[in-house]
Structure 1
Amino acid sequence: MTEILRYTAFSTDPEGGNRAGVVLDARGLTDAEMLAVAASVGYSETAFAVPGGDRAFDVRYFSPVVEVPFCGHATIATAVALGERIGDGELVFSTRAGEVRLSTAGGRASLTSVPTRSVAAPDSVVEGALAALRWDAADLAWPVHVAHGGAGHLMVGVGSRERLAALDYDFSALGDVLRSAGLITAHLFFQRAGGVFDVREPFPVGGVVEDAATGAAAAAFGGYLRELGMVGDGRSLVLHQGVDMGRPSELFVEVRGDDDRVVVSGAAVAL
């Protein structure tokens, strides 16, 4: 029988963070079986790890309805689960997005993303996303980009925390816009102060209304800020996500101006 662990990531409180299923030994499972397990777990993603050597694993990620190339919160959860069983230290995950290096210590994990990239979103994508979000161009305070940090995300920054809090979007329409552009989520953000941001993350592509913490999008966001020239020699960010859902999460992001890889860190606890 497949052992399924359940963790919440980017929080030390079981009532916060983003929940993930974790299968530490998925040898022998077919794609259809992994999707079925993810659907039965019902979280935004479940990670399936196959041991591949000394502290190295092949890892795949499934939402309840689709496989995604990379998932940050399930990666953090899997790394912490492994650290609790085989000891803290360095890990290497081979994912559909590329190689991800991690370190774990005391219930926390840090992942170093694949190379990030960010480009201005096509006008058609911007217009479609705004219509689906029921927002206006006047709500925008940042350039809208398509950014990648293991998976594709639409970066949409607003100038009002109230606008972010009042999120009420067209699930089907936004899903269609994201799928048409090969994207996973919409990363909606407001700059609270300096390197502190409030974030919301619709995930209709995966059959999920909203993610409480999205590590892959956090990596992409770091690359987005780097592309905009806003990190200098380096910058530390704190992303507050899940607050409006009642599942507060904290994601810590380190970006360097001379490195296209981004480090995302956070805690995880077993449920």
Structure 2
Amino acid sequence: MAEDPEVLRYSAFAATAEGGNPAGVVLDASRLDDAAMQRIAAEVGYSETAFVVGQDADEPTYRVRFWSPAAEVPFCGHATVATAVALAERDGPGHVAFETLGGRVELRSATDETGTVTVSFTSVDPEVRDIDDEVRDGLLALLGLTGADLDPRFPVREAYAGNWHPIVVIAERDLFHQFRFLPADVAAIMRELGWLGTVTVLHELRPGVFEARNLFPVGRITEDPATGSAAASTGAYLREHGYLERTIRIEQGRHVGRPSALVVTIPDSGGIEVTGGATRIR
């Protein structure tokens, strides 16, 4: 029986040395079948592991798949950044593209004078859609919230930039930090509605800066420390609702002890750009 390929481990979007969202990266997964990728992702135990399953011979385009410990997901932002950093460390910085189940993602990497790699990825063309009133009210109830708790400028919607994310914006900061949820119940509604990313809960700290809690009760964790796909979806959501700031900072991970920061650039149209780095976990 052939040995499994090497699994690299990175922490993406870290705001402190102890922060960020860990991801597994397998740079040569061309010989792995679905069962093997699922098994490796479960053994790694991170929220997602990325598998590079092929490369275009004529251009720097890679076919990448993402697996949580429980299932395959179409797209994962922090694992995308981790994979791009791993490729830049191996091959040098520059432009690459990932073909994912969620669509084609363009990436640019750069290295500073210390050797630190920063990656910016541009999401697929996003979508924002209304959410059924009954679904909205059921979700809010699972979070112990009502419509009166929401920021009136930002209605609950679903946004897509590789994965569908329901987006909830809470008006009061204390409530944002204090709300509780039952992971099993939230996981059930996510499975029922095909929310393969996270439930994204936000609070605007000040213009251009949001704090995020991304609920992800489908693996060994219940909240994601940093979520690139949700950050891109948030950018699309804010653009749809006429938000004036075009570069925003999303602070995440405080509630799980892994502070993270994601920078989101919102163009007038097209894909949303998310920027961050990843550090190798030795």
- Report the TM-score range of the alignment, normalised by the length of the smaller protein: over 0.9
2:162 is aligned with what amino acid? G
CA distance in 1, matches of 2:130, 2:73: 23
SS of 1:19 mapped into structure 2? strand
Any gaps of 5 or more consecutive residues in structure 2? 112-116
**Structure having the larger proportion of residues in strand:** 1
Any gaps of 5 or more consecutive residues in structure 1? none
CA distance in 1, matches of 2:219, 2:18: 22
Structure 1 partner of 2:258: 247
**CA deviation vs aligned residue, 1:190-220 (integer Å, no higher than 9, x gap):** 0001110000001124553010000001111
CA-atom RMSD in angstroms: 1.3
SS of 2:195 mapped into structure 1? coil
- 1:179 deviates by 2.2
Structure 2 partner of 1:192: 205
Say whether the 8 Å CA contact 1:128–1:174 is kept in structure 2.
Answer: no
Most deviating of 246-255 and 178-187? 178-187
Say whether the 8 Å CA contact 1:66–1:206 is kept in structure 2.
Answer: no
Say whether the 8 Å CA contact 2:16–2:260 is kept in structure 1.
Answer: no
Structure 1 partner of 2:61: 56
TM-score by length of 1: 0.95
Structure 1 partner of 2:193: 181
Say whether the 8 Å CA contact 1:117–1:260 is kept in structure 2.
Answer: no
Structure 2 partner of 1:43: 46
**CA deviation vs aligned residue, 1:163-191 (integer Å, no higher than 9, x gap):** 12113201121122222222121100000
- 1:267 deviates by 1.1
Most deviating of 179-188 and 213-222? 179-188
**CA deviation vs aligned residue, 1:93-125 (integer Å, no higher than 9, x gap):** 000011101011121101000011111211121
CA distance in 1, matches of 2:12, 2:264: 15
Structure 2 partner of 1:25: 28
SS of 1:261 mapped into structure 2? coil
SS of 1:74 mapped into structure 2? helix
**CA deviation vs aligned residue, 1:52-90 (integer Å, no higher than 9, x gap):** 123211000001001100000000000001100000000
Say whether the 8 Å CA contact 1:12–1:268 is kept in structure 2.
Answer: no
Choose which of 108, 120, 140 in structure 2 pairs with 1:130.
140
Say whether the 8 Å CA contact 2:15–2:259 is kept in structure 1.
Answer: no
1:243 is aligned with what amino acid? R
Choose which of 144, 150, 169 in structure 1 pairs with 2:181.
169
TM-score by length of 2: 0.92
Equivalence map 1:93-112=2 (5 Å): 93-106=98-111, 107-112=117-122
- 1:50 deviates by 2.4
| 1:140 pairs with 2:150 | yes
2:157 is aligned with what amino acid? H
| 1:204 pairs with 2:214 | no
Structure 1 partner of 2:168: 156
CA distance in 1, matches of 2:39, 2:50: 13
List, as ranges, runs of 4+ consecutive aligned residues in structure 1 with deviation greater than 6 Å: none
Structure 1 partner of 2:11: 8
Say whether the 8 Å CA contact 2:137–2:146 is kept in structure 1.
Answer: no
Identity %: 44
Say whether the 8 Å CA contact 1:65–1:207 is kept in structure 2.
Answer: no
2:14 is aligned with what amino acid? S
**CA deviation vs aligned residue, 1:227-255 (integer Å, no higher than 9, x gap):** 11224xx7000000001221111100000
CA distance in 1, matches of 2:217, 2:130: 22
1:66 is aligned with what amino acid? A
- 1:11 deviates by 1.6
